[in-house]
Amino acid sequence: MDLDQRMYFGVTPREWGDFFPDAYAQTKAAEENGFDSVWFEEHHGHNEYLPSPLSALAILSQHTKMKLGTNIAILPLYHPLRLAEEVAQLDCITHGRVILGVAAGYREKDFNNFGVSLKDRAKIMDEGLILLDKLLRDERVDYDGKFFRLSEATVQPRPYSKPRPPIWVGGWQPAALRRAARLADAWFPGPTVTFGEIIKLRKIYDDELRKMGKPVSPLPIMRDVYVAETTEQALRESEESFNDMYQVDYSSSGHPLISGQKKTFEEWAEDRFVIGNPDVAIEAVDRYRKEGFNYVVLRAALRKLTSQQVISSVRLFGQKVIPYFNQK
């Protein structure tokens, strides 16, 4: 089935500390309840994120048949050849189950100890995307750029996916959206801003695609989620998690659109979180569908929840929400 003929759903399980037992249980719950993919993010020196999403996915790849995605890998922190090799290797091992999500990054803390300047990240990102495409498609690559130089570079083993694994690009600045249209297969908006803001920004992406004659598909989106039997229960159980993530972390993160903002839980939640009973979740996802978004990645493992609460939310979403869209 082609991607634009149905809705696809991904899940981000626990991704910090001794992550594997909880991530494994949450991933299996997602797979057993209709989800299509599992995703990990990347930050450095942060106690709520993993530093290496590809290695985490490699571990889980042997315990699931779902697709495996990064959301996102901070591309300027990688040498493109090394990243291409790791992606190709995982894609080969899993027989084509990799989706590579990348972005330029925005947290100064991520860059401080890697010898990479935050101010150069956009230019490094451009060269990195050009090289990823070449290295994953072509047997031999020569390249002479400002940041990277390659001579007869080859990636072995070759990726299983042809012509290469999909590359999705995140970002919020106009230049980032145009970059996604020019150099990648999809723009991948994250969970931090409201859906209304995403719709406004998407016009930049769509306009660039039209100029290039490229289709607007796939169209993924990432959202934070917590589903419970009642909306009152969902709000009560997730409020501490969302306040920690947004009022404390994102507000001080340097995020280009929300850094420095202080809001109540209700203000953060409005048009941003998928939070409530299954009917509320259906209404939210249906709004995304009507705007053309056909791949919804849900960050399910909120920081203050127990693993059993995460699993319950994933199961409810899989049993009550996903079937609604599979019937369309």
Give the per-residue pLDDT at 2: 40
Whole-number pLDDT of residue 3 = 44
| Residue 166 CB-density burial (10 A; 0-12 exposed, 13-18 middle, 19+ buried) | middle
Mapping DSSP onto H, E and C, the string for 205-225 reads: HHHHHHHHCCCCCCCEEEEEE
How many Cβ atoms are within 10 Å of 196's Cβ, its own excluded?
11
Matching residue, tokens 């039209």: 210
User: Which residue's entry shows tokens 């990064």?
Assistant: 70
pLDDT, tens only, 116-140: 999 999 999 999 999 999 999 999 9
Is the pTM for the entire model greater than 0.75? yes
Question: 216 pLDDT band (50/70/90 cuts)?
Answer: confident
Residues 6+ apart with CB under 8 A from 189: 170, 172, 198, 201, 202, 220, 221, 222
**Mean of pLDDT values over 145-157:** 98
d(C-alpha 29, C-alpha 150), whole Å: 43
- Structure-block tokens of residue 327: 């019937």
Structural domains in the chain plus CATH codes: 3-236+273-326 (3.20.20.30)
pLDDT in tens, 168-198: 999 999 999 999 999 999 999 999 999 999 9
Question: Tell me, what's the pLDDT at 251?
Answer: 78
Residue 255: pLDDT band with limits 50, 70, 90 = confident
Instruction: State the average pLDDT over residues 77-94.
Output: 98
Q: Are 34 and 47 in contact (CB under 8 A)?
A: no
How far is residue 169's CA from residue 189's CA, in Å, rounded to a whole number? 8
135 close to 81: Cβ distance less than 8 angstroms: yes
The larger pLDDT score, comparing residue 98 to residue 216, is at: 98
- Flag whether pLDDT at 248 surpasses 90: no
Residue 270, phi then psi, degrees to nearest 5: -60, 120
